Structure 1
């Protein structure tokens, strides 16, 4: 089988200041995307997407995880992670979902970066050049709000109408100046009371 990946695009972001002040340490994020030909095009409704997923997803996971962990200086530096798919206009959103919502991608990625959390995710359909947002959260403590963040990527020639863009995102730390608390320590509220006050 020929290599399913047309190209890989990796983007690294290093934020040195936030809110007008320098950061104690840079905020480092990276995203890597693989562009592949959609294997299900021109076949009508394919009820079982599994065979192609089993073949393609591990190759994509390995290639992307290698690229983004290298961008952060190694898997040990990854604190937050996410995944996303952008499907070209001739495909279905489900085609992208099939490739990211599978142990053949998610479990491999999680293993490589020593994560435990469910991986934050998103999928959509759009033409080439569309900005894809990859949401992320903490790789072992998903309720840790300081690591709720995102990384963006736009590829000028992808996905073409017959392609799918699969992306993995990572961050080496929390958002700069994070200070909105944690889901596990939130004050308990009564939604009915709160809504009553809003509509009073």
Structure 2
């Protein structure tokens, strides 16, 4: 059964005091443990919404894991474009964005390896659901528009971000992940929601330790 983990990104994620009275938030620790494969949450979906500032600190996500990014948005013109979600910057990160009426995913590994997946079809105007799937085993990324497969590309070295960094919804709040756009490259349509899902069990270290102890 898929577990839902809701995050209201209008909370001031820059402040460690915003939820937990001086300690890092529960949201931070859950995402931290999942990113480092310490706990097993099964299918874990985190939901994000554009906040007043559009960026949120203390979001930890390991892009090397198989994962899915989905976004719901509305455009009334093919000229509307911009960043859907971005994590990191020019020295490492990833971004999903709309440019030249096409859906684009860019993975930047420590500023040295860049991988680009661009949709073969243009985006329609009106309400749209877009998706990016990363298969860690196959090292490939796949783009979908309204559940229609529109592009696949190799991502041989996924973005190496395994610590908290600038995680942006609706714009690229840090330095640009890609040299194909200039920050903030804010989304000019109406971005409703972004969902980040890890659709597989992550490694349960406690279970592995128990097996090893039983074998001794």
TM-score over 0.5 for the pair: no
Report the TM-score range of the alignment, normalised by the length of the smaller protein. under 0.3
Instruction: Give the TM-score of the pair, scaled to structure 2.
Output: 0.26
Report the structure, 1 or 2, having the larger helix content. 1
- TM value normalised by structure 1: 0.27
In our comparison, the structure showing a higher alpha carbon Rg is 1
The structure richer in strand per residue is 2
